[in-house]
Amino acid sequence: MLRFLDAGESHGKALVAILDGIPSNFIVDIDYINNELKRRQVGYGRGERMKIEEDRVEIISGLRGNKTTGNPITMLIYNKDYEKWKDIINREPEEEEKITIPRPGHGDLVGYFKYGSGDIRDSIERTSARETAIRTAVGALCKAMLLEIGIDIRSKVHSIGNNHDEVADIFDNEVYEEINKSLVRCYSKEAEENFKKIIDICKEEGETIGGSIQLSIKGVPMGIGSYSQWDRKLDGILSYGIMSLQGVKAIEFGNGLDLSLKGSTFNDEILYKEGKFVRPTNNCGGIEAGVSNGENIDIKVFIKPIPSIKKSIRTVDLKTKEEKSTRYERSDVSAVVPASIVLENLVAFYILREMLLKFPSDQFMDFKRAVEIFDGRDN
């Protein structure tokens, strides 16, 4: 079973993860992982923190040379901002230093009451989206392995606020190159200008803005996941992972939210061409009854506005119970662009885990061969 745990705080010394279950003899490209971390850090609407951190992963176990050994893989990302915060992080806070004014929409209030530390700082440090750096590193290793067996995961920004980008084939390499050149990761130049404009307006107003992301997974063979038990359904598993990402509030598979479609038009017709079952449409998003059907797994992910805002809204001091204006912590104006990169790598972990459940192997070449044999069989 592929699994991982991560730990670390936003301003702590480092973020760390232990990834267990990766087959042996897979060649790990550290530069590929670091490039995914770099992709996560850039984008229009990013805050000052990204000017401080230059994330690079260090792998301290599970490799010999650049090959996996089959042992647990330990990853580290050091926080450069730790030097400025270590005095605060490494001691008990004085009473007057404790944060007791929660930001609505964040984990401040619920964390304060759940763990009873008397200081919101403890919740802030762990609920921060800084944690997504180490999850991106874990996912990037998984994503690289998936590419080796013919599974590609790509994304683009679909909307910022009420402004939408046009539909584009993100598996067309020329199209995807243009998307990756864009600071807001969209295809249409008109949409790019609209996205930048609304982010600029929000920054001036002390606001933040959400949006949506088009996420697509190509190459997953038919038969991954299961309907035999409720907790084995592939769309359920992916939903669980995606919804665990900070800021995600809703997801859609295929055209599941298009209420104009009737049964005869929503259900994807089944054809047989050139030795394969194919679909002329993909309204279901590549998954039927919790099982992949061989089409692209298409998901739209909706990201809420970041809760750390400069604009004043009401909250309460948890100590005095007096009404206060919300407090502000340094943050981005929009998290949609970096979230698209995090999501690519986040879902890679779950897809690889399901592939390894289908084709359990201790060595990477055995895993790759099993997938190739399965893909080459007669339908």
- The binding site for NADP(+) consists of 40, 46
**Annotated binding-site members:** 40, 46, 126-128, 246-247, 289, 304-308, 330
Quote the pLDDT of residue 131.
96
**pLDDT (0 to 100) of residue 90:** 86
For residues 261-284, average pLDDT = 94
pLDDT in tens, 308-360: 888 889 999 999 999 999 888 778 999 999 999 999 999 999 999 999 999 99
Name every residue whose Cβ is closer than 8 Å to that of residue 174 and which is 6 or more positions away in sequence. Answer: none
Residues making up the binding site for FMN: 126-128, 246-247, 289, 304-308, 330
Q: What is the pLDDT of residue 47?
A: 64
Task: Convert the pLDDT of each residue in 134-155 to its tens digit.
Answer: 999 999 999 999 999 999 999 9
How does the average pLDDT of the chain come out, rounded? Answer: 94
* Confidence band, pLDDT 50/70/90 cuts, at residue 84: confident
Residue 53 confidence (pLDDT): 65
Q: What percent of the chain has pLDDT over 90?
A: 85
Compute φ and ψ for 292, nearest 5 degrees: -65, 140
Contact 47, 206 (CB under 8 A): no
- Write out pLDDT tens, residues 205-232: 999 999 999 999 999 999 999 999 999 9
pLDDT single digits (tens) 8-20: 999 999 999 999 9
Burial class (CB in 10 A: 0-12, 13-18, 19+), 244: exposed
Model pTM? Answer: 0.95
Q: What pLDDT, on a 0 to 100 scale, did the predictor assign at position 51?
A: 57
pLDDT tens readout for residues 236-260 = 999 999 999 999 999 999 999 998 9
Say what the pLDDT of residue 52 is: 60
* pLDDT confidence of residue 50: 54
Q: What is the reported pLDDT for 249? A: 97
| pLDDT at residue 329 in the model | 79
| Residues 336 and 201 sit within 8 Å (Cβ to Cβ) | no
Q: Residue ranges per domain, the chain?
A: 3-376
Q: Residue 378: is its pLDDT beyond 70?
A: no
Q: Which CA distances in Å does 259 have to 49, 297, 309?
A: 41, 20, 34
List the one residue out of 298, 329, 130, 160 whose CA is nearest residue 218.
Answer: 298
Contact in structure between 56 and 77 (CB atoms under 8 Å): yes
**pLDDT for residue 239:** 98
Say which residues have a Cβ less than 8 Å from residue 194's Cβ, sequence separation at least 6: 160, 163
**Predicted pLDDT at 86:** 87
What is the CATH architecture of 3-376?
A: 4-Layer Sandwich (3.60)
Residue 43 above 70 pLDDT? Answer: yes
- Of residues 85 and 366, the one with the higher pLDDT is 366
